[in-house]
Amino acid sequence: FAVVKSDGERFAMKLIDMKLSDTEEVEHERKILTMLGLHRHIVCLADAFDLPGGTTAFVMELAEGGEVFDKIGKDGPFSEANAADVVRQVALGLAFIHTAGVVHRDLKPENLLLTSKGIVKLADFGLAEWCGKGAKPITEIAGTAAYMAPEVVLADDGEGPPYTETADLFSLGCVLFSLLGACKSTAITLRADSQT
C-alpha cells in the first residue's frame, strides 16, 4: 500500500509491468475507472501514473477488510441476512456501473472487497467493457468460468449472439450461491486472448 506523507491517508497500489501487459487493456481499465469516479460500492481510482522501468501504478482506494472470498474461507457460509446484505450492496454498485454504460464481466467473491466497516466494494475492472447505447456489441468470452453467464459462453468469441450487462446479474446469483454454500471457486479466469 501507499501512504500520503502529509496526512497519513492509506491507499492500495496496483503496479502493472507494462512489458508483460497489453497497453490498450491497461489504458481501457484506467479510462473506465476514471469515468466511474467515486461511488460507495466501487474501489475507486485515486490516481494513475507511470514509474521508471516501464511500470504503471494505479493508486486505489484501500479496502482493509480484505476479500469476501477470504471471509467465506475463514468463517464459512454466510447467514441469509448477511448474504442478502452483501448482494444488496453489490447490486447498488452494479446499478451504478450499468447506468454508466459499463459491464464488469468478472464478478466473483475474490473481486468483492470489504472496508474496515464492512462496506462491500466492487474491484478489478480489468475485464470490464463498455455497454449500452453507442457501445459495440460484446461478443468476447471473458470472466471466471464458475461465475460466467450462459450468454457469455454462447457468445463464443464472436460466433454467437452478443450479450449485455445482464451477464453481471447471473454472476451475482452465483456469488449468492457461494455466500450461502461457502463454495470455494478454483475456476480459472478466461480471456479471449489466453490459452487457459
Which active-site residues does the annotation give?
Answer: 106
Residues 156-177 as b/e (b if ≥16 CB within 10 A, e otherwise) read: eeeeeeebbbebbebbbebbbe
Residue 195 grid coordinates = 490459452
Give the C-alpha separation, 76 to 93, whole Å.
Answer: 24
Give φ, ψ of 103 to 5 degrees.
-110, 135
Residue 177: left (phi > 0), alpha (psi -120 to 50), or beta? alpha
Helix, strand, or coil (residue 137) = coil
Residues 91-109 as b/e (b if ≥16 CB within 10 A, e otherwise) read: eebbebbbebbbbbbbbbb
Would you tell me how many other CB atoms lie within 10 Å of the CB of residue 124?
19
- Burial class (CB within 10 angstroms; exposed 0-12, middle 13-18, buried 19+) of 134: exposed
66 has which bridge partners? 114
